[in-house]
């Protein structure tokens, strides 16, 4: 063993189980002695001692300190190379691109996504494999198992701090550390995805005004490069572009509740044609049209699929996918084109597998994530450029495009109701009771609603089999009705305290496409409460967030 390396004795933690996407906890949990180092050592050992790793994050509180400490552990383990973006800032999709371009063994992404930041907020670690995709459950389970029994980790005797403020190469014994430009790499990857000449031409037209809200997350530098430097848009095009450790005190979560400033700005200025907001690590996006017209994520996916011909990268599309709770609008587009649309559990890792083997080229989910085959992550900036490509080529507005889509395919009314920070024990009890009810067949054939219009056709718990035959049961309790409406209930796997219940409702209407979403779904919500007894279990029928 090198003179510089020491073995530090440590106590294993029993709570390092990754959730839907990585390990997410309060910052104070990560600040416990050796908590971070234990998990990194567990990743290193459980993933067969990777040789080259990408390391970066969304700029949230604790990231810089974490990068220094992770470098010490990885260098002490004599990893060959660590690739770090300048200032450590790396969006999750750019990380996926970088892992693939650098042929790295994987990547450690320091983010808790859309969760709040700052000293009282959340921190997180995502691990992506050499395909650029979030690690599948088989790997995260191995990491978790290792973390529970770890007794020591390796560290440098003399801790090193690397200057991340400029492009440079450093060495610590046998480890090379390259500080690189992540934006250049990302741009290289997407350079053929879109007609950038046409985009520039459109965006330079005075009447084509757009707003890009980075919510003080990691997308700011990418957005400034693309919209201000490359397309020469006016400076006010990109807002909240400085990545801040506490995201300016807000949740970096692009939805109608939290990104309401953007909605209000668009309502106040009807000359703005298109608005988009990204989350902390740049993988999620919310799209708005003139006067704040909201595009539901299921519709966004279906509209892009239907207009795939306007996007160079999608010219040879073989298949699509959506997560189980996502409204099935894209299924109808797939059917029309004679393509398959896969239905996968919540968690980008399931899309990652399908993208890796080339079965799909476009996919997305209700939680404002949309991605394509250029990388193995959802990508907010890609979605933004995809929308702008369609608007440029078709010369229509967002609202018109979506409404035309509904006229052809009908409309999926969709809402997700979140009940955050609930009592975990009560939620588990509710889920157990509901599972017993729904995996039995007692509800099938029963009619609900004022006119008994909702007849139950199927109930159960969604199970998935991956292309490699791996079975994943228990991915969402569901009630399906004869008219295509659905109620889905699951517990979130990304919260950092208590439990979050998610209820997903969707109803399909071929002709009546102009209703208010919430009004249309009101009766289905009441039926959901009757069947799940959620208000009795958790003590409220008022969701904390509706998206």
Residues with a catalytic annotation lie at 113
Question: Closer CB to ligand G16, residue 127 or residue 406?
Answer: 127
Partners of 545 in the β-ladder = 418
Determine the size of the site formed for ligand G16 (CB under 6 A).
Answer: 16
Tell me the angle at which helices 380-394 and 398-409 cross, rounded to the nearest 10 degrees: 80
Told to check if 129 binds ligand G16 by CB under 6 A, we report no
Told to check if 347 binds ligand G16 by CB under 6 A, we report yes
Question: Closer CB to ligand G16, residue 62 or residue 504?
Answer: 504
Question: Closer CB to ligand G16, residue 8 or residue 545?
Answer: 545
Helix (H, G, I), strand (E, B) or coil at 22: strand
Please, are residues 65 and 98 in contact by the beta-carbon 8 Å criterion?
A: no
| Options 248, 460, 493, 546; binder of ligand G16; rule CB under 6 A | 493
Candidates 78-86, 94-102, 237-245, 340-348: pick the segment binding ligand G16 (CB under 6 A).
Answer: 340-348
SS3 sequence of 231-292: CCCCHHHEECCCCCCCHHHCCCCCCCCCCHHHHHHHHHCCCEEEEEEECCCCCEEEEEEHHH
| Options 16, 47, 140, 346; binder of ligand G16; rule CB under 6 A | 346
Candidates 5-13, 441-449, 488-496, 518-526: pick the segment binding ligand G16 (CB under 6 A).
Answer: 488-496
Return the structure tokens found at 525.
Answer: 């919500």
Q: What is the CA radius of gyration of the chain?
A: 23
| Options 16, 18, 20, 74; binder of ligand G16; rule CB under 6 A | 20
CA 147, CA 75: separation in Å to the nearest integer? 19
| Options 2, 101, 472, 492; binder of ligand G16; rule CB under 6 A | 492
Instruction: Please spell the DSSP secondary structure of 49-92, one letter per residue.
Output: --SEEEEEE---TTHHHHHHHHHHHHHHTT-SEEEEEGGGB--H
The contacts of residue 477 (CB under 8 Å, 6+ apart) are 431, 434, 435, 438, 459, 460, 461, 462, 488, 489, 490
Q: Supply the minimum distance, in Å, between the C-beta of residue 497 and ligand G16.
A: 13
Q: Supply the minimum distance, in Å, between the C-beta of residue 133 and ligand G16.
A: 10
Candidates 100-108, 138-146, 345-353, 443-451: pick the segment binding ligand G16 (CB under 6 A).
Answer: 345-353
Told to check if 155 binds ligand G16 by CB under 6 A, we report no
Q: Supply the minimum distance, in Å, between the C-beta of residue 191 and ligand G16.
A: 25
Question: Closer CB to ligand G16, residue 248 or residue 493?
Answer: 493
**Beta-sheet pairing, 447-448 with 411-422:** unpaired
CA 529, CA 525: separation in Å to the nearest integer? 6
Told to check if 424 binds ligand G16 by CB under 6 A, we report no
The contacts of residue 251 (CB under 8 Å, 6+ apart) are 114, 115, 116, 258
Handedness of CA 86, 92, 94, 98 (dihedral sign): positive
Told to check if 494 binds ligand G16 by CB under 6 A, we report yes
Told to check if 367 binds ligand G16 by CB under 6 A, we report yes
| Options 284, 405, 486, 537; binder of ligand G16; rule CB under 6 A | 284
Told to check if 392 binds ligand G16 by CB under 6 A, we report no
Told to check if 96 binds ligand G16 by CB under 6 A, we report no
Question: Closer CB to ligand G16, residue 424 or residue 492?
Answer: 492
Q: Measured in Å, how far apart are the chain's first and last C-alpha atoms?
A: 54
Partners of 133 in the β-ladder = none
Tell me the angle at which helices 398-409 and 329-337 cross, rounded to the nearest 10 degrees: 70
Told to check if 307 binds ligand G16 by CB under 6 A, we report no
Q: Supply the minimum distance, in Å, between the C-beta of residue 273 and ligand G16.
A: 27
Told to check if 35 binds ligand G16 by CB under 6 A, we report no
Instruction: Please spell the DSSP secondary structure of 190-221, one letter per residue.
Output: HTTTS-HHHHHHHHHSTT-EEEEE-TTSTTHH
Told to check if 283 binds ligand G16 by CB under 6 A, we report yes
- Calculate the CA 402 to chain-centre distance: 23
Told to check if 298 binds ligand G16 by CB under 6 A, we report no
Told to check if 140 binds ligand G16 by CB under 6 A, we report no
Told to check if 128 binds ligand G16 by CB under 6 A, we report no
- Site for ligand G16, rule CB under 6 A: 20-21, 113-114, 283-284, 346-348, 365, 367, 369, 492-494, 502
């Amino acid at each position: 063993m090198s003179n510089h390396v020491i073995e530090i004795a440590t106590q294993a933690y029993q709570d390092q189980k990754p959730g839907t996407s990585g390990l997410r906890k309060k910052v104070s949990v990560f600040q416990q002695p050796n908590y971070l180092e234990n998990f990194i050592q567990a990743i290193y050992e459980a993933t067969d001692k990777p040789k080259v790793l990408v390391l970066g994050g969304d700029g949230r509180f604790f990231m810089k300190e974490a990068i220094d400490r992770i470098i010490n552990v990885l260098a002490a383990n004599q990893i060959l190379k660590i690739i770090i973006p300048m200032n450590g800032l790396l969006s999750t999709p750019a990380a996926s691109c970088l892992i693939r371009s650098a042929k790295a063994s994987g990547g450690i992404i320091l983010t808790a996504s859309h969760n709040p930041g700052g000293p009282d907020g959340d921190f997180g670690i995502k691990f992506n494999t050499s395909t650029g995709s979030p690690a599948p459950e088989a790997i995260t389970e191995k990491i978790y198992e290792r973390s529970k029994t770890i007794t020591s980790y390796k560290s440098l005797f003399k801790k090193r701090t690397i200057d991340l403020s400029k492009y440079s190469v450093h060495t610590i014994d046998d480890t090379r550390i390259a500080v690189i430009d992540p934006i250049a790499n990302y741009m290289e990857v997407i350079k053929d995805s879109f007609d950038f000449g046409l985009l520039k031409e459109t965006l330079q037209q005075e009447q084509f005004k757009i707003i890009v809200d980075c919510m003080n997350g990691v997308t700011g530098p990418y957005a400034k490069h693309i919209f201000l430097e490359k397309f020469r848009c006016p400076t006010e095009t990109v807002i909240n572009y400085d990545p801040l450790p506490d995201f300016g005190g807000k949740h970096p979560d692009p939805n109608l509740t939290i990104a309401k400033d953007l909605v209000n700005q668009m309502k106040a200025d009807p000359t703005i044609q298109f608005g988009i907001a990204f989350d902390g690590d740049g993988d999620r996006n919310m799209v708005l049209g003139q006067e704040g017209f909201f595009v539901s994520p299921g519709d966004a996916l279906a509209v892009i699929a239907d207009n795939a011909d306007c996007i160079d990268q999608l010219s040879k599309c073989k298949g699509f996918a959506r997560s189980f709770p996502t409204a099935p609008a894209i299924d109808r587009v797939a059917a029309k084109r004679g393509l398959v649309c896969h239905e996968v559990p919540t968690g980008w890792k399931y899309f990652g597998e399908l993208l890796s083997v080339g079965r799909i080229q476009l996919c997305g989910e209700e939680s404002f994530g949309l991605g394509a085959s250029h990388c193995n992550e959802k990508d907010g900036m890609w979605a933004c450029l995809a929308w702008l490509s369609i608007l440029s080529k078709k010369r229509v507005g967002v609202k018109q495009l979506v409404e035309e889509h509904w006229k052809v395919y009908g409309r999926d009314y969709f809402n997700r109701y979140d009940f955050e920070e609930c009592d975990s024990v009560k939620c588990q009890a509710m889920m157990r009771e509901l599972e017993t009810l729904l995996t039995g067949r007692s509800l099938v054939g029963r009619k609900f609603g004022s006119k008994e219009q909702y007849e139950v056709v199927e109930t159960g718990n969604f199970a998935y089999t991956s292309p490699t035959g791996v079975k994943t049961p228990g991915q969402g309790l569901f009630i399906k009705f004869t008219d295509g409406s659905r109620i889905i209930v699951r517990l979130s796997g990304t919260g950092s305290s208590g439990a979050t219940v998610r209820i997903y409702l969707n109803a399909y209407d071929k002709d009546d496409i102009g209703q208010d979403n919430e009004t249309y779904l009101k009766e289905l919500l009441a039926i959901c409460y009757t069947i799940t007894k959620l208000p009795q279990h958790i003590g409220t029928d008022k969701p904390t967030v509706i998206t």
